[in-house]
Structure 1
Amino acid sequence: MSVSSISTMALARQTRNLVRTMQSDMHTLELEIGTGKKSDVAGSVGSRAALLLDLRNARQTTAEYRQSIQTQSSRLTLMQEALDKVRGSATQVRDLALSVSGSGVGAAAATIDEAALNAIQTLSSMFNSSQSGRYLFAGTRFDTRPMQPPTETAPSGIAPLDAVKSVLSSLGPTSTAADVDAALNGPNGLSSIFSDTYGGGPAAPENFSKTFFLGSTTQVQGRAGEDLPVTYACTAGDEPVRTLLKGLYLLAAVPSESVSTEAYQRIADQGWRLITQATDELIDTQGIIGLQEELLKRADERHEVEDGLLSKQITQMEMADPYETGLRLNTLETQLEATFAMTSRISKLSLIDFL
């Protein structure tokens, strides 16, 4: 036995489910019109879903590079500012040394050792600059404070200024210009400290890498793009910094009244020459850092363009067509109205009207 008719209750349920489906579809289309995006992106792009995923990943990578560029640019700016202050402080001592080198006496000679020590303290502060817990001039040992303050005892057991004074005093009296040259450049002289050759090798506690500088001379490298390395082109252990400290420590460790006028003239002259050489070399270093800053700027501009292109492609794939969506919405609205009208007419039918 077959039943070819549907009960009134079943028909009502079927109509109700149909209405719910149409209302849900209308709500989805209204959201598409409101947001401008397809509700089912994966379903709508079909076989191009892999391409859409690649585009999104590429845009995420671009955003990460741009964030990294901002951080790196900030670090390089801080390095430039620190080097400006280093050169400014050193220049003041250099000018004092130049004025003293002609006479070896006078008010400048009486204060130059204190001025040199103050400059070293400024250098220590600047070369210990950090950002977000990373020391900028420590090379790859960026978690270690690189520059030891002049009067603070280092892990080697001696303070930098004491190491210089100890080495100079061990070389005997300094009375003539020749004595000064020997103390500076002779065996186990001051220069040997800053070349890590004092006492036969770098293991001696007086040496630069044991007492003065605790970082690494290996420069940190970052990235501004897949094939765009960025180098932090300065550490507190580089040669210009060693030369600068050599000149400043020479002036800070030997008061003018402790040696003859001839000897102090030579000390002031050598200090002036070393500081002048170092500040000129630091200008070159800042020029290299400036090139890295320009590289970052150009890379960020390129990434900005790439981000715009990727965003446009993604939007085109995810964007809902407002005309098509509106047409579908109107069609559903018409169907829903027809369903409501038919339901209303059926509900008004009565057998009595046909008897």
Structure 2
Amino acid sequence: MERRSFLKKAGAGLAVGAVAMPAIAQSAPTVKWRLASSFPKSLDTIYGGAETFAKRVAEATGGKFQIQVFAGGEIVPGLQVLDATKDGTVECCHTASYYFVGKDPTFAFDCALPFGLTNRQLDAWYRHGNGLKLMREFFATYNVHNLPCGNTGVQMGGWYRKEIKTVKDMEGLKMRIGGFAGQVISKLGAVPQQIAGGDIYPALEKGTIDAAEWVGPYDDQKLGFNKVAKFYYYPGWWEGGPQLSVLVNKKAWDALPKEYQAILEIAAADAHVEMMAEYDAKNPTALKQLIAGGAQLRPFPKDVMDACYKAAQELYAETSAKNATFKKVYDDMKKFQADQVLWGRIAEGTYHNFMASVR
């Protein structure tokens, strides 16, 4: 008798749930947004971050919230997506914020700073330090709400037509390099060029530039850089953990129900982890294939690394003296980084070195 009573009550509960769920779905507003990516579709991992984000939002809302993703150049050029978002041409974009250091160098903290934080360190600073709070305050001045949405991990140092043996070899080198790093290498006599991902290969092929960095083996192989430059350097000291972000027009963000805002945050966080995992899975195979195909793998000489580090510190001191917002964020990040480097060296760094030694 008790069992029949329980089943009857459970059945009634299920019936209520079956009615309630559609009612909730029906009450949710239908929203359609456009997202402008800075990247070409051919770069399935980094462009795919925006697709993963949009897919998760649609799934979580039963298709009520649709975000259509457009590749770089389909609505606006890849390096103009911030302005398009800020001005309301599109509701959001997916980009590397350091593309916009020409507007304000503070943008670099949302992506990568030369000799800055790694992926995990940046996540820690954003989530358990002051990183997200400080950057949300900064982005608000550009009418934008930022959502971390992807990371590539430590990148490679790029492709070069000639070997880099000394600091002198940097003089006059025309190099495609993103973000703040261009200002660092210019102190060593190099000539930085900011070129969107899809335009790098032809510039390198034609000799318009002498070297180019992008991301790492998987993407670099797709873009074919090994066909036009054979020396492949590491590490990308300017890309310790470059973060990608979804930037949302502030008015569009504020107009969303709180539930939709939460879904966007969660979808971006999932895409964030997915991108890093995919790069970690695919880069090793691509690197082996590139080397088998003739790529000459080279570490940057220590004197080059030292000179670049010194130039970066000079640049940060100069920039901090001129830009109070940059100084505020930089001082906070630098303090956080000191403990992160210590911890990483003791635990994970030692572990990685040992595992490499016993292969």
TM over 0.5: no
Larger Rg: 1
Q: Which has the higher strand share?
A: 2
Q: TM-score, normalization: structure 2?
A: 0.24
TM-score by length of 1: 0.25
